[in-house]
Amino acid sequence: MRKKTNRRKFIEKSLASIAGVSAVSSCVNAPEDKVKESININFNKNYKWKMVTTWSPNMPVLGEGCNMFSEWVRKMSGGRLEIKVYGGGELIPSLESFDAVSNGAIEMGSGASYYWAGKIPSGQFFSSVPFGMNSKQMNSWIISGGGYKLYREIYEPFNLIPFVGGNTSMQMGGWFNKEINSFDDLKGLKMRIPGFGGKVLSKAGGTAVTVAGGEIYTNLERGVIDATEWIGPYHDYLMGFYQVAKYYYYPGWHEPGGVLEMIVNKDKFSELPSDLQEIIKKGIESLNIWMQCEFDSKNSEYLNKLLEEEGVQLKKFPKDVLDAFKLKTHEVIEEMVESDPKSKKIFDAYEKFRVSFKDWSTVSDKIYYEL
Ligand code: CA
């Protein structure tokens, strides 16, 4: 009898914890969802929204995912919410999307937080930091580790709600026409590498060059640049870099898990009935998962293609080069947090999570990959 009672207690407890898990997963995008909100639905009103993106029209995975999101929303809302997706430059120039969504001229946008580094420097900690957290760790921090609260806080003055809307997963180190055997080989290296990574390369003696996406191939071919990074094997293959560069380096130390971002105008979002708001949130969550799966699946397929069909020479950065990049990364971050208190606050939270997650990664993923 006693055994039976214990068993029943165990079952009740298990069911409660299962319910707990589903309650957590149903609010992964916004901690405030833990509070029961009132439901307001108006089946007679239809909405037509616009989404501007920083991606070229229909760009594989990135633009493609936004198109899929729009279709999911249309279906889930029974046609009450239609979102027309525009590629970068189709409606407005890519980098103007932040202002257009902020002032409500456009309802939502897809990009990455580091594009707005000039407006919100601290936002860069929500994209990708060299030697920082990978895609799994970033999702854990933002969605479950308190990151969302900070992320929302820094976008609040701009009347924007930011969402994690995808991840490129671990990127590659890039394509080089000069072999990198030691730290000295970085001296004078002209490489197309934007953002954080570019600052680190410049500190390490190289020259970070800005080149528009469409011109990278020709610049590499003509020797205007010695190297370029892009994304991962799938997109790099589509860009044809293997035709004009000798070596393909790893790891992608500068972008270990590039978070992609969806921004929504706060007023426009508030105007929506509660079911459509939820559809947007759940649609973005699905997009986040789909993009990572698609990147990883395609990258593994295309890495093999590059190695087996195109004979690409895969090379690992030497240890002293990675050590130097790491050291310079610390300097870049130090300068950044010294000049911006918000960046310091966010970086402190980021680091705290990263360090505590490291122990878990060591006994889970790391050891498993070494088996
Ligand atoms: Ca990149």
Q: Is residue 301 part of a domain?
A: no
Is 30 a domain residue? no
Is the pLDDT confidence value at 18 over 90? no
What is the distance in A from the centroid of ligand 1 to the CA of 304? Answer: 20
Q: Measured between alpha carbons, how far is 143 from 183 in angstroms, rounded to an integer?
A: 38
- Residues 242, 266, single domain; the answer is no
Same domain, 346 and 247: yes
C-alpha 255 to ligand 1 mean position (Å): 6
Examine the domain organization and report whether 270 and 319 are in the same domain: no
How many C-beta atoms surround the C-beta of residue 78 within 10 A? 11
> DSSP state, 164?
E
What residues make up the domain containing 134?
47-166+258-296
Mean pLDDT value across residues 274-296: 98
Q: Where are the beta strands (DSSP E) in the chain?
A: 47-53, 81-86, 108-111, 160-167, 174-176, 190-192, 207-209, 227-228, 247-250, 259-265, 313-316
Interval between CA 252 and ligand 1 midpoint (Å): 8
Kindly report the backbone phi and psi dihedral angles of residue 94, in degrees, each rounded to the nearest multiple of 5, phi listed first.
Answer: -45, -50
Please indicate, yes or no, whether residues 227 and 153 belong to a single structural domain of this protein.
no
Q: Are residues 157 and 292 in the same domain?
A: yes
CB 249 within 8 A of CB 315: yes
Quote the ligand 1 centre to 23 CA distance (angstroms): 35
The whole-number pLDDT of residue 7 equals 54
Query: Cα dihedral sign for 60, 66, 67, 71?
Result: positive
Q: Does residue 156 lie within any of the structural domains?
A: yes
**Total tally of structural domains belonging to the chain:** 2
Compute, in angstroms, the gap from residue 226 CA to the centroid of ligand 1.
16
Mark whether 55 and 204 lie in a shared domain.
no
Question: The domain spanning residue 126 has which CATH number?
Answer: 3.40.190.170
Residue 27 pLDDT > 50: no
Whether residue 79 is found in the same domain as residue 136 = yes
| pTM, full prediction | 0.89
Q: Answer with the residue of higher pLDDT: 323 or 33.
A: 323
Residue 131 Cα to ligand 1 middle (Å): 14
Q: Specify the amino acid at residue 138.
A: M
What amino acid is encoded at 189 in this protein? L
Q: Which residues contact 155 (CB under 8 A, 6 or more apart)?
A: 120, 123, 161, 162, 263
Q: What is the pLDDT of residues 155-213, one digit of tens each?
A: 999 999 999 999 999 999 999 999 999 999 999 999 999 989 999 999 999 999 988 88
Distance 261 CA to ligand 1 centre (A): 15
Sign of CA dihedral 90, 91, 93, 98: negative
Q: In the predicted model, is pLDDT for residue 123 greater than 90?
A: yes
Between the CA of 229 and the centroid of ligand 1 the distance, in Å, is 6
